[in-house]
Structure 1
Amino acid sequence: MGSFIWIPVVLLVIFTILSGVFIVKQQTAVLIETFGKFTSVRQSGIQFKIPFVQRIAARIGLKIQQLDVIIETKTLDDVFVKLKVSVQYVVIREKVYDAYYKLEYPHEQITSYVFDVVRAEVPKMKLDDVFVKKDDIAIAVKSELQEAMLDYGFDIIKTLVTDIDPDPQVKEAMNRINASERQKTAAQFEGDAARILIVEKAKAEAESKRLQGQGIADQRREIARGLEESVEVLNKVGINSQEASALIVVTQHYDTLQSIGEETNTNLILLPNSPQAGSDMLNNMVASFTASNMIGESMKKTNKPKIKE
Structure 2
Amino acid sequence: MGITILFILLILCIVGSPVFVVKQQTSVIIERFGKFNSSRNAGINFKVPFIDRIAGKINLKIQQLDVMIETKTKDNVFVHLKVSVQYQVVQTAVYDAFYKLQNPYEQITSYVFDVVRAEVPKLRLDDVFVRKDDIANAVKSELQEAMQSYGYSIVKALVTDIDPDEQVKQAMNRINSAEREKVAAEYEAEAERIKIVAKAKAEAESKQLQGKGIADQRREIARGLEESVKVLNGVNINSQEASSLIVVTQHYDTLSSIGASSRSNLILLPNNPSAASDMLINMITSFEASQRVGEKINDKSSQT
TM-score bracket, normalised by the shorter chain, equals: 0.7 to 0.9
The letter of the residue matching 1:191 is A
C-alpha distance in 2, partners of 1:290/1:242?
A: 13
Q: Could you say which residue in structure 1 is the equivalent of 2:26?
A: 28
Q: Cα–Cα, structure 1 residues 47 and 235, in superposed 2: closer, same or farther, change >3 Å? A: farther
What is the DSSP-based 3-state SS (H/G/I as helix, E as strand, rest coil) of the residue aligned with 2:245? helix
Q: Select which of 37, 56, 76 maps to 1:39.
A: 37
> Given the superposition, is the C-alpha separation of residues 84 and 242 from structure 1 closer, same or farther in structure 2, using an over 3 Å criterion?
same
Alignment of 1:116-131 (within 5 A): 116-131=114-129
Q: CA deviation at 1:77?
A: 3.0
Count of aligned residue pairs for this structure pair? 287
Residues 244 and 277, structure 2, Cα contact 8 Å, conserved in 1: no
Change (3 A) 1:69 1:288: same
Is contact 1:250–1:281 with CA below 8 Å preserved after alignment?
no
Partner of 1:144: 142
Name which of 205, 213, 216 aligns with 1:215: 213
Structure 1 position 202 matched with structure 2 position 200: yes
SS in 2 for 1:32: strand
- Give the partner amino acid of 2:115: V
CA distance in 2, matches of 1:222, 1:37: 124
Q: Which of 154, 167, 178 is matched with 2:165 structurally?
A: 167
Q: 1:55, CA displacement in angstroms?
A: 3.6
**In the superposition, relative to structure 1, how do residues 289 and 186 fare at CA in structure 2: closer, same or farther (>3 Å)?**
closer
Work out the CA distance in 2 between the residues paired with 1:235 and 1:152. 126
Partner of 1:98: 96
Give the CA deviation at 1:191: 3.3
Whether 1:134 aligns to 2:129 is no
Structure 1 gap segments, 5+ residues each: 296-309
Cα distance in 2 for partners of 1:26, 1:230 equals: 119
Shift, 1:204, TM fit = 3.0
AA in 2 matched with 1:60: I
**Change in 2 beyond 3 A, CA 1:148/1:281:** same
Q: Kindly provide the amino acid, as one letter, of the partner of residue 225 in structure 2.
A: L
Question: Using the alignment, how far apart are the partners of 2:110 and 2:49 within structure 1?
Answer: 40
**What amino acid sits opposite 2:141 in the alignment?**
S
Cross-structure match for 1:60: 58
Change beyond 3 A, Cα 1:290–1:180: closer
Cα distance per residue 1:34-90 (max 9 Å; x no partner): 344333223333434444443433332322221110011222333222111111111
Aligned partners of 2:116 and 2:286: how far apart in 1? 105
Instruction: List structure 1 segments (4+ residues) > 6 angstroms apart after TM superposition.
Output: 289-292
The alignment-based identity, stated in percent, is: 71
Relative to structure 1, the CA distance from residue 216 to residue 178 in structure 2 (aligned partners, 3 Å threshold; closer, same or farther) is: same
| Amino acid in the other structure paired with 2:205 | E
Change (3 A) 1:268 1:12: same
| Cα drift, residue 266 of structure 1 | 2.4
Distance 1:52 1:268, change over 3 A: farther
Shift of 1:106: 0.8
1:127 deviates by 2.6
Cα distance change, pair 278–62 in 1 and its aligned pair in 2 (3 A): same
Q: CA deviation at 1:238?
A: 4.1
**Residues 71 and 115, structure 1, Cα contact 8 Å, conserved in 2:** yes
Q: 1:61 to 1:232 in 2, by over 3 A?
A: farther
Alpha-carbon distance in structure 2 between the residues aligned to 1:111 and 1:267: 96
Distance, in Å, in 1 between the alignment partners of 2:261 and 2:63 is: 96
Structure 1 window deviating more from structure 2 (92-101 vs 266-275): it is 266-275
**CA distance in 2: counterparts of 1:289 and 1:195, whole angstroms:** 48
Read off the aligned partner of 1:160 and give its amino acid letter: L
- Residue 228 of structure 2 corresponds to which residue in structure 1? 230
Residues 75-90 of structure 1: matches in 2 within 5 Å?
75-90=73-88
The alpha-carbon distance between structure 1 residues 266 and 40, as it changes in their structure 2 partners (threshold 3 A), is farther
Code of the aligned partner of 1:109 = Q
Q: Deviation at 1:190? A: 3.2
Shift of 1:222: 2.2
**How far apart are the structure 1 equivalents of 2:52 and 2:192?**
88
Match of 1:300 in 2: none
* CA apart distance, 1:215: 2.0
- Amino acid corresponding to residue 219 of structure 1 in structure 2: Q
Q: Give the Cα separation in 1 of the matches to 2:286 and 2:101.
A: 125
Given residue 137 of structure 1, which amino acid in structure 2 is its aligned partner? Answer: I
Shift of 1:109: 0.7
Match of 1:242 among 230, 237, 240: 240
- Please tell me the residue identity of whatever aligns with 2:113: F
Q: Which amino acid aligns with 1:128?
A: D
